[in-house]
């Protein structure tokens, strides 16, 4: 059990270093700078998906603004959508 804790801690430290160096996802990094598990909140998969999209800035708002001429491309900062 102790070796599992050591390995988990090492993986989390490496994941944190990678997250801090990554150029994409800076919007989410500003919201959650530390990696790790989400708090266990009971919600259905649809609600989890909505929360995830809000956290990442993938809400479709830019596309709506693009259609009304208020955003140049309709793409988010990552260039995907």
Residue 28 burial class via C-beta count within 10 angstroms: exposed 0-12, middle 13-18, buried 19 and up: middle
| Amino acid 19: pLDDT | 92
- Name the residue ranges covered by the structural domains of the chain: 1-37, 41-81
Contact 56/31 with Cβ under 8 angstroms?
no
- The DSSP result for 29-54, as a single string, is HHH--S-SPPP-----HHHHHHHHHH
| Amino acid 9: pLDDT | 94
List per-residue pLDDT tens for the chain, 81 residues long. 799 999 999 999 999 999 999 988 787 788 788 898 777 678 888 888 888 887 777 777 777 777 888 888 877 766 665
| Amino acid 81: pLDDT | 58
Q: What is the pTM of this model?
A: 0.55
């Amino acid at each position: 059990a102790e070796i599992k804790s050591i390995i988990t801690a090492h993986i989390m430290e490496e994941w944190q270093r990678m997250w801090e160096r990554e150029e994409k996802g800076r919007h989410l990094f500003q919201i959650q700078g530390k990696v790790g598990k989400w708090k266990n909140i009971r919600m259905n998969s649809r609600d989890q998906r909505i929360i995830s999209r809000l956290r990442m800035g993938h809400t479709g708002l830019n596309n709506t603004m693009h259609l009304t001429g208020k955003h140049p491309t309709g793409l988010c900062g990552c260039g995907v959508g």
